[in-house]
Amino acid sequence: MKILITGGTGFIGKELCKRLLQRGASLTVLSRHPETVAERCGEQVAGIGSLGALSADDAFDAVINLAGEPIADARWMERRKRLLWESRVTLTEQLVDYIARAQAKPQVLVSGSAVGYYGDCGDRLLDEASIYTDDFSHRLCAAWEEAAGKARDHGVRVCTLRTGLVVGKNGGFLQRMLAPFKMGMGGRLGDGRQWMSWVHRNDLIRMIEHLLDSPGSSGAYNGTAPHPVTNREFTRVLAKVLKRPALLPVPAAVLKVALGELSVLLLGGQRVVPKRFLEEGFRFEFEILEQALTDVLAT
């Protein structure tokens, strides 16, 4: 199988490349630094710096679109919002334009999205058909999914993956939390009642494989473990696994002042379940948070 991947050098993409190479796939990764792709993703992986480097004769069986600037790395000023939009929506539009001009169309496009699609929904249990709350996070993800969906006009099966917080070694949101927790200075955010929908990176990669391999799969899928937890529970379990106390909560007011609109990501949340994956018989390796964190933090 020949696969084109965007975001292949990232926290999820690098591990996905390893898994697909083990399957015997031929991979091409779109990167701003194509010269580093072989070192970061595997020496067999080809790197390209722009979609313009592909001709109409280049043929791929599948396209996996994981590109996007990290959403929580800086305050949501207007300039930052434009960057988030361009790295997701605009790039996806460009990807679909490439598919439109390709002589041989891919069979499937698996395109990233996020549980932020639902906005801050409090305690409401959310599956793929649930009603959303309108905020910037929703509008960004909805436009991202809409852009990917236009590949259907060219006969391509499209799956959008609404990913939760990804738990994995050496990166992701967990890496930023570890330092204070290891020093015993961690704690809940605000009142800790907000929901955190998480997924182990290994399971997320297996979800992508499932979507690649299942001709009957299309539309939106929640890329989360079956058992979301509150921030208070996440904090308790992380402290337990690290064998450290977690006694220093961060007041909501402090986060709002420090992060502005971005604080919504930390103080709000989504209680998401992967209903469609479960209906299609997907089996999780890591269903329970303590099991996942123990695996990731094992030395």
**Which segments of the chain are extended strands (E)?**
2-6, 26-30, 46-48, 62-65, 108-114, 125-126, 157-163, 165-167, 195-196, 198-200, 219-223, 229-230, 271-272
Instruction: Provide the residue ranges of all domains of the chain, joining segments of one domain with +.
Output: 55-297
- Give the pairing of strands 108-114 and 157-163: parallel
Candidates 3.40.190.10, 3.40.50.1820, 3.40.50.720, 3.90.78.10; correct CATH number of 55-297?
3.40.50.720
Which residues, given as ranges, of the chain have pLDDT below 70?
299
Q: Per residue in 153-199, pLDDT tens? A: 999 999 999 999 999 998 888 988 898 899 888 999 999 999 999 99
- pLDDT of amino acid 121: 92
Residue at 168: amino acid letter: G
| Residues 6 or more apart in contact with residue 27 via CB below 8 angstroms | 3, 5, 8, 17, 20, 21, 41, 42, 44, 45, 46
- pLDDT of amino acid 213: 97
Mean pLDDT across the chain: 93
Answer yes or no: pTM beyond 0.75: yes
- pLDDT of amino acid 259: 83
